[in-house]
Amino acid sequence: MLKSKVVTIQRHIVEQERLHPGATGDFTGLLWDLTIAAKTISREVNKAGLVDILGVTGENNVHGEIVKKLDVYANEKICKSMEHGGHLCIMASEENKDIIPIPDEFPKGKYVLIFDPLDGSSNIDANACIGTIFSVYRRKTTGSMITQEDCLRKGTEQVAAGYIIYGSSTMMVYTTGQGVYGFTLDPSIGEFLLSHENIRIPSKGKIYSINEGNANTWDEGTKKYIAYLKESDSLTERPYSLRYIGSLVADFHRNLLYGGIFLYPADNRDPNKPKAKLRLLYEAAPLAFIIEQAGGMASTGKERILDIQATELHQKVPVIIGSKEDVLLYEKFFNQK
Ligand code: AHG
Ligand code: MN
Ligand code: MN
C-alpha cells in the first residue's frame, strides 16, 4: 500500500519552522545546506571502494590520529557547503586545530556549527558504518569580533544536533529540541524521507557497547558494572549482549533504536590523571542532546554531559550514553566508594 504522506526533510524542516512564529528561515537554510553536504559525502563514501580515495594521507589530525582521505574530503565538503549561506558566523571541526572563520567575502549569520566530519574513520577501509556528527549553537558574542568563545559552550545551549550515518542506507537523524526524527536517503530521487518519527529509546536495553580491550585501564566502578552485565539473571535480563563497531555514530544509532548503553570511560591507569578519548563539542554534546530528546541519558559517570561548559575546543570527556535505567545504574556503580 502506498503511504499517503511522504515527508521530505525539507518539508519537515519548514513545518518545524512554522511552529516558531518569529523564525526567519535562516535555520531552515542552514539545515538545508547541511543535507546537501551530507548527500555529497554519502555519494563519496559509497563509491570509496571504486576510486582511489581510500588510504592514508600521511598527515595526523590534531589528536595525533591518522587521517584518512575521506576525513579530509568530508571536512572540506562541509566547510565549503556551509561558509557561503549567510547563516553561520563561525565553525569548528574535529579535524581543525583552531576555529574556522567564515571568509570575508561571505555574509555572517547568527549560528555556530561544530562538527565531526567523519566519525569512525578507522572503519572506512572495511566498508563498515561511518558517520558525520553536527551541533548548532546561536552566536553568543556581540559586535564585529567573532571568537572562539562562540564555540566554547555548554551542551544545553544547543539549538540543534544530529548525525548522518552512512550504512546499508544513509540516514540523517536530528533534533531541534522537539523530539528526534530520522530520515532515510532515497538515492533514486536524492531526497531524505521521514522514516523514523519521534524516536524514543527503550528505558532499558540488553546491549552494552564498550572497547573491552581497554578493560585493564578502567576504574573499579566500570569494571564492576561490566562484570554485573555479564552475570546471568533472567529477572534483569542478564547477561547483556556486547555489540561494538568502533564507530560511535553506528554504535549510538543501534542503541538508540534497540536500547542499550555505550560506554567510553576514561583511561584510569593514573587515577590522578584520567584520560578520556571522545570529544565534548564534536561527539559527546550533540549525541547527549539527541539521547535526552529521545528519553535517554548521557553522563560522564559523575555529571550530565549537557551541563559541561567547554573550556577548550578539543576537550575530551568520558561518555556513558543510552537507555536511562542503564546509565543510572552505571552511575551507581561508578560512584560507589
Ligand atoms: P573518529 O573516527 O572521529 O576519530 O572517532 C573515533 C571514535 C569513535 O567513533 C569510536 O567510538 C571510538 O573512536 C572508537 O575508539 P576505540 O578504537 O578506542 O574503541
Ligand atoms: Mn569521531
Ligand atoms: Mn572524525
Ligand 1 pocket residue status of 294, Cβ below 6 Å: no
The CA 119 to ligand 2 mean position distance, Å, reads 4
User: pTM score > 0.75 for this model?
Assistant: yes
| pLDDT of res. 189 | 93
Does the pLDDT of residue 213 top 70, yes or no? yes
Residue 172: pLDDT above 90?
A: yes
| 117 confidence band (pLDDT: 50, 70, 90) | very high
Which ligand 1 atom is the nearest neighbour of the CA of 244? Answer: 19
- Round the average pLDDT of the chain to a whole number and report it: 93
Residue with CA nearest ligand 1 atom 16:
246
Q: Do domains 9-196 and 207-334 have the same CATH topology?
A: no
Contacts of 100 (CB under 8 A, 6+ apart): 79, 90, 91, 92, 93
* C-beta of 326 in contact with ligand 1 (< 6 A): no
Residues around ion ligand 3, judged by CB within 5 A, are 94, 116, 118-119
Assess whether the C-beta atom of 211 lies below 6 angstroms from ligand 1: yes
Pick the more confident residue, 21 or 293: 293
Residue linked to cell 540516514: 171
Q: Answer whether 35 contacts ligand 1 (Cβ < 6 A).
A: no
The CATH number given to 9-196 is 3.30.540.10
What is the distance between the alpha carbons of residues 64 and 141, in angstroms, rounded to a whole number? 31
Mean local confidence (pLDDT), 279-304: 98
Domain coordinates of the chain in residue numbers? Answer: 9-196, 207-334
| CATH 3.40.630.30 fits domain 207-334 | no
Would the pLDDT of 221 be above 90?
yes
Overall average pLDDT of the 306-314 stretch: 98
Region of residue 80 (left: phi > 0; alpha: psi -120 to 50; beta: else): alpha
pLDDT at position 47: 78
Residues 193-199 have a mean pLDDT of 97
Distance 247 CA to ligand 1 centre (A): 6
Look-up of cell digits 532515497: 186
pLDDT score of 145: 86
Which tens digit of pLDDT belongs to each residue from 282-293?
999 999 999 999
